[in-house]
């Protein structure tokens, strides 16, 4: 399916975890309309929710007076999403790997791990209060036609 005109949108939303459902649905609808695979849509959904929850909880410290800026673009071969919170930021490389034995029962670091696992690019700005995530369209498996 040929991509329609690339879509870009920028919005500022309340720093409240309940907000992500509506915004996420809108973004996922754009992927569905442009024939991204179910696996790609799942990956973006998971990573977007994790990034948003991290921005609300850790970035904005559950402060409802703060906001989160979401910028995204959907193109023929990729989606790019940027989330910026109003927090002081963090050092992503200092987050412990949740798979290490000493961290298995700790809750921290799992969201970041999932974002990195499901997206093709996960980058943070220097201060750590903005994440940029990119998911490239998966190549569709070619099916062999049965010969008669």
Asked whether residue 142 is assigned to any structural domain, the reply reads: no
Model confidence at 142, in pLDDT bands (50, 70, 90)?
very low
Total of domains in the chain: 1
pLDDT mean over 30-57:
94
Beta-carbon count within 10 A of 1 CB: 8
Q: Show the CA angle centred on residue 110, arms to residues 19 and 116, nearest 5°.
A: 85
Asked whether residue 145 is assigned to any structural domain, the reply reads: no
Could you tell me the residue range of the domain that residue 124 belongs to?
7-136
Asked whether residue 132 is assigned to any structural domain, the reply reads: yes
pLDDT mean over 124-134:
96
Q: Average model confidence (pLDDT) for the chain? A: 86
Which H or E element spans position 132? Answer: strand 130-136
Collapsed DSSP state (helix, strand, coil) of residue 134: strand
For residue 40, what are the contacts with CB-CB under 8 A and spacing of at least 6? 31, 135, 137, 138
- Residue with the bigger pLDDT between 93 and 68: it is 68
Q: pLDDT tens, 44-74?
A: 999 999 999 999 999 999 999 999 999 999 9
pLDDT mean over 88-100:
75
Asked whether residue 2 is assigned to any structural domain, the reply reads: no
Asked whether residue 143 is assigned to any structural domain, the reply reads: no
* The pLDDT of residue 146: 47
Q: What is the C-alpha separation between 147 and 119, in angstroms, rounded?
A: 38
**Which residues on adjacent β-strands are paired with residue 68?**
13
């Amino acid at each position: 399916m040929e991509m329609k005109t690339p879509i870009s949108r920028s919005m500022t939303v309340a720093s409240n975890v309940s907000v992500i459902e509506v915004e996420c649905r809108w973004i996922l609808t754009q992927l569905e309309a442009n024939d991204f695979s179910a696996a790609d849509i799942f990956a973006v959904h998971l990573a977007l929710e994790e990034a948003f929850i991290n921005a609300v909880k850790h970035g904005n410290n559950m402060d409802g007076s703060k906001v989160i800026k979401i910028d995204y673009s959907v193109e023929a071969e990729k989606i790019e999403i940027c989330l910026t919170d109003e927090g002081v930021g963090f050092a992503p490389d200092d987050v412990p790997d949740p798979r290490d034995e000493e961290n298995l029962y700790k809750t921290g670091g799992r969201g970041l791990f999932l974002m990195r696992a499901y997206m093709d690019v996960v980058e943070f700005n220097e201060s750590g209060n903005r994440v940029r995530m990119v998911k490239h369209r998966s190549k569709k498996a070619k099916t062999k036609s049965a010969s008669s």
